[in-house]
Amino acid sequence: MARSGAGVTALPMAVVLLAVVATVAVHAAAGGGGGKMASHGEGTNLKASSAPAPAGGSAGQFRGQARLPRFAAPRRYELHLRPDLVAFTFSGSVAIAVAVSASTRFLVLNTADLSVDRASIRFQALAPTEVVFFKEDDVLVLGFGKLLPLGEGVLKMDFNGTLNDEMRGFYRSQYQYKGKARNMAVTQFEPVDARRCFPCWDEPAFKAKFKLTLEVPSELVALSNMPVANTLVAGPIKTVRYQESPLMSTYLVAIVVGLFEYVEGVTSQGTRIRVYTQIGKSSQGKFALDIGVKSLDLYKDYFGTPYPLPKLDMVAIPDFAAGAMENYGLVTFRDIALLFDDKSSSASSKQDVAITVAHELAHQWFGNLVTMEWWTHLWLNEGFATWVSHLAVDSFFPQWNIWTQFLDSTTNALKLDSLEESHPIEVEIHHASEVNQIFDAITYDKGASLIRMLQSYLGADRFQKALASYIKKYAYSNAKTEDLWAVLEKETGEPVKDLMSTWTKQKGYPVINAKLKGINMELDQAQFLLDGSSGPGMWIVPITSSCGAYDSPKKFLLKLKRDKLVIASQCGDRKKGGNFWTKLNINGTGFYRVKYDDELAAALQNALETKKLSLMDKIGIVDDSHALSMARQQTLASLLRLLYCYRGEADFSVLSHVNSVTTSIAKISVDATPGLAGDIKQLLIKILLSPAEKLGWDPKNGESHLDVMLRPLLLFALVQLGHGKTINEGVRRFNIFIHDHNTSLLPPDTRKAAYLAVMQNVSSSNRSGYNALRKVYRESAEGEERLLVLGILSSCRDKGIVLESLNLIFTNEVRNQDAYIAISGVQIEAREIAWNWLKENWERISKTFSASSLVGVFVKAIVPLFSSNEKAEEISKFFATRTTPGFERTLKESLEIVRINARWVEGIKSEPGLAQTVRELLGKP
C-alpha cells in the first residue's frame, strides 16, 4: 500500500484507526427462529490464542484475544453482494467452506458494522444455539449444541451493511458525470476491514479462495480481483459472476462499481492490463499503463516467477484514504497517484505516479503471492515494495537518479527512528485497533533502507537469486521475517539472521563515532537519540569506507561497541595539507549516522568544497550534521559553515536535502535567536540563490527531468525565506496566469511557488490574492492543481485568513481524504492560531474523521511547530482525556519533537560565536 497522499506528501497509511461501534442486529427470517444476540462490552487481557481447541466452555473465552483461534480455518468463500448506490446500503450472503481440525463446538470469526441475520446462520445443517458478538474485538462467536464434525463443512449466513463514507470497508465515493453527482461503490480492506463487508476470518494467515457474485445496475462497470466468468442482464440489474481466485488473504479482496472508461495494454507473457478512469480521463492513464506493463515484465524476471493472475486492473478512485492499495489483480489508487497529463501535471507528479504504480505491482509478488504471517511482519510487504519500486523505476528512467533520491526515504526513517517513541520494525500487534499505527516511516522507509543495506552487503546478484528462491518457496502461503533470513542464509552462506535481527527486533540505530589514532581509525557505536541521550542498543553494523577516492572501498562488520579500522594501507600517508579524506557509510547504504573527530570532519569539508565526494555522500554528510546539531552534539555554527560549502551545488537530490536543513534552521531560529533570525535567513538565501538564478522561472529546451524538479524546489524555498525579488516575480506571473490559464509564464511546475508568493501579501484587508486562489481551487478540474492551492491557503500570518482556510475542511469544498493538505501549510508564525483552532474544533474533528487515521495527521501537522517544554505540557494536558489508540503514538512522537526542539533552542542560545559566524559567512564574496 502506498501511504496517504501519494504524490503530495508522505503520511502513514490512513484507512481506519478509530473503531466505530459495530452492531450485529437480529432479523427473524420468515418462519425461522429469532432470539437475542448477546453483545458484550469492553474486553481486556490481550493474549495470543495458541491453546488447543476448547471442546466446551463458554463464548467468553474468545473475548479480548489478539488473534482468532486456529481450530477452524476457511478454505473457500462464495460471496454474493448487492450494493444499493442510492440508499447507500448493501445486502449479501456468504457460504464459507471451513476446515475444522480439532474438537470444538465453536466457530470464531470477524465481523463489524454488519447486521447479520441470525436465523440464516447454518454450519452444514446445524443452527447455532449461541451467537455472541464482542464489538470491541470485532469477533463473532457461534456456539453449537454439539461438537462439530472434523473435516470440511460449509458455514452460511445472510447480512446487511451500509456503504459508508469513511473510506474503509465497503464504502461510497462520489464523482461528476455530465454535470451531475454520481456514486460508486469501492472496497478498502487493508488492514482489518474486510470484516465490514462480509463475515470472515480477517487475518492474513487465513488464506482462502474467493468466488464473487455482484448484483449491480446494468449500466455500471463492476470490477473484482478476477476476470468476469459470465454476466446475466435482467432489465436494470445485472448479475456478474467472477472466476475463482487463487489462495489469498481477505485484505486483498476488492470490488469497484461505477462508470469508467479504460486504456489497455498487454505484457510480454500476454497478461492484459487496464487503467480505469472516470469518463473523459482515460488518456491520463496512459503513463501508468506503460509503467504497469514494464513493471510486470521486470518483476517476472527479477522474482523468477510469472505474474500469477490472468489480468491486472488499476483504477482511479475519487475518495481514497491511502495513496494506493495492492488488491490482487485490482489495484486501487487516489486519482493523483495514477493519473498524469503532460500539459497539466508536474514533473514530480510523473515521478510519483511511476514509483506508486511500481510499488503496488511489486506487492503482487511480495505481499499477495507471499504474504506476511501477521501484521508484526508488515515491513516484509511495505519495506520490500518501497525498495523494489525504486529498483524498477531506476531501470525505466536511469536519468532520474532515483537511488540518490531514495535517500529521502532513509532520511525520513532516520528522523523518526531517533525518537524514544519510535518502535522496532517487527512490532508486536496485540489487537486489530493497533495495526494502523505501524503504517509509518519505520515500516516503509526504514524497512526499504535495511533491504538496501543488506543487498549492498550480500551483493546484488546473490541477493536477487535468494529472493527468487524465497518467492518460490512461500508462493500462495505466508511467511515471517525469520523465514526470509533463513532462505537468504542458505542461498548466500552469510550470517543474515544474526546481522539483520539486530536491526529488525530493536528500535533505533547507532551513531558511529570515528577518531583518528595513528594508522587506525577508532570506531565506537552508540544508539543515537535526538534528545541528546544515548540508548542501550547494539547492532552488527556493515561498515563501508573510502579514503581519498572511491576506487578501493573497504567493508567490515562492526560487531562490538568499539573496534578499529586499519586505514594506513587504504589511505597512504596523511601529509599535512594533502588531499587526505576518509568517508564512512559510502553512498549512505548503511542505516546509521557518523560523527567524525575534528581532523576527519575538516578533511571531509575540504573534500566537499573541492568536489571530491559523490552525490549520495554529500547528502549523508549534511543530514548527519543536521541531526547531530539538533541533538546538541555539534553547534549550529558548524552546521552553517558546512551548509555554506553547498552554495555552488546544482544537483536536485543534494539541494533537496540542503533545503530541508535550511527550512529547519529558519524555523528554529525564530525561537532560538529572534534577533539573528533575519540574518540567518539571508545567509540561507545566499546558499540557495545561485542555482535558483541559474535555472530561473522559465523552462529551457532540453533541460533534464531533475532540473525541471529543482526549479520549483528552489523558488518555493526562496519565497519561504522571504526573498523579495522571487516573491515579486511570483506575484507578477500569478496575476498574468489568473487572466490566462494557458500562459507559458506559469507552467504546472512553478505554480506552487507563485501561489505561496501571493499568500505572503494576503491579509483580511487585502484579500484579492486569496480570493483569486480560492477561485482557481473551485474551478480547476485537475486534482493536482486543486491540492497545490489547498496546501497554500493557510500559509499566511493573518488570523482571519488562517482560520478561514482551516475551516474549509468542514465544508463540502474539501474531501475528507484531503483535509491534511489544508492544514499542511500553516507557518510557524501562525502556530498559536492553528493550535487554538485545533483545541476549539477537536470534538468536531474527532467526529468528522472518526474512522480514519487522518485524525492523527492534525496532531502531526500542528504540534511539532512548537519548541518549548511549557507548550508540550499544555498540549499533553489537553489530550490527557482525549487520546485514542488511533493517534496515541503520533501524539507521543509529536510531543517528543517539541521537547527536542526546546532543548535545541537552549543549546543555540548558549552558542557564543554564532552571530560572528553568521556575519562572517554573509560577508564572504
Q: Specify which residues 131 forms β-bridges with.
A: 142
**H or E segment and range at residue 836:** helix 831-840
**DSSP label of 504:** H
DSSP 624-682: HHHHHHHTTSS-HHHHHHHHHTTTT---HHHHHHHHHHHHHHHHHHHHH-TTTHHHHHH
Q: Which of 383, 541, 391 is nearest to 451 (CA)?
A: 383
Q: Check the annotation: does 382 bind a ligand.
A: yes
| DSSP-based three-state secondary structure for 1 | coil
Contacts of 769 (CB under 8 A, 6+ apart): 731, 734, 758, 759, 761, 762
Q: Specify which residues 47 forms β-bridges with.
A: 65
Residue 360 is among the residues annotated as catalytic for this protein: yes
Q: Are 380 and 484 in contact (CB under 8 A)?
A: yes
112 burial type by CB count under 10 A (0-12 exposed, 13-18 middle, 19+ buried): buried
Q: Check the annotation: does 377 bind a ligand.
A: no
Check whether the bond before 191 is cis (ω within 30° of 0): yes
Rounded to whole angstroms, the Cα distance separating 53 from 147 reads 11
C-alpha cell at position 903:
532543548
**DSSP label of 721:** T
Q: Are 537 and 506 in contact (CB under 8 A)?
A: yes
DSSP 227-280: -EEEEEEETTEEEEEEPPP-SB-GGG--EEEE--EEEEEE-TT--EEEEEESTT
First vs last C-alpha separation in the chain = 49
Rounded to whole angstroms, the Cα distance separating 784 from 750 reads 13
DSSP 718-729: HHHTT-HHHHHH
Rounded to whole angstroms, the Cα distance separating 204 from 202 reads 7
Q: Which of these is catalytic: 190, 215, 326, 360?
A: 360
Q: Are 446 and 591 in contact (CB under 8 A)?
A: yes
Q: Check the annotation: does 363 bind a ligand.
A: yes
Supply the Cα-derived Rg of the chain in whole angstroms. Answer: 28
Q: Are 332 and 2 in contact (CB under 8 A)?
A: no
DSSP 519-531: TEEEEEEEEE-TT
Q: Which of 6, 200, 50, 53 is nearest to 114 (CA)?
A: 200
Q: Which of 259, 290, 81, 107 is nearest to 183 (CA)?
A: 259
**DSSP label of 3:** P
Rounded to whole angstroms, the Cα distance separating 1 from 543 reads 32
Looking only at the bridges linking them, the beta strands covering 593-596 and 510-517 are parallel
Helix ranges, 431-554 (H)? 441, 447-458, 460-474, 481-492, 496-504
**H or E segment and range at residue 186:** strand 180-188
Contacts of 159 (CB under 8 A, 6+ apart): 91, 92, 93, 94, 111, 114, 115, 116, 117, 198, 199
**DSSP label of 442:** I
Task: Tell me phi and psi for residue 828, to 5 degrees.
Answer: -60, -30
Q: Which residue numbers belong to the known binding site for Zn(2+)?
A: 359, 363, 382
Q: Which residue numbers belong to the known binding site?
A: 359, 363, 382
> What amino acid positions are annotated as catalytic residues?
360
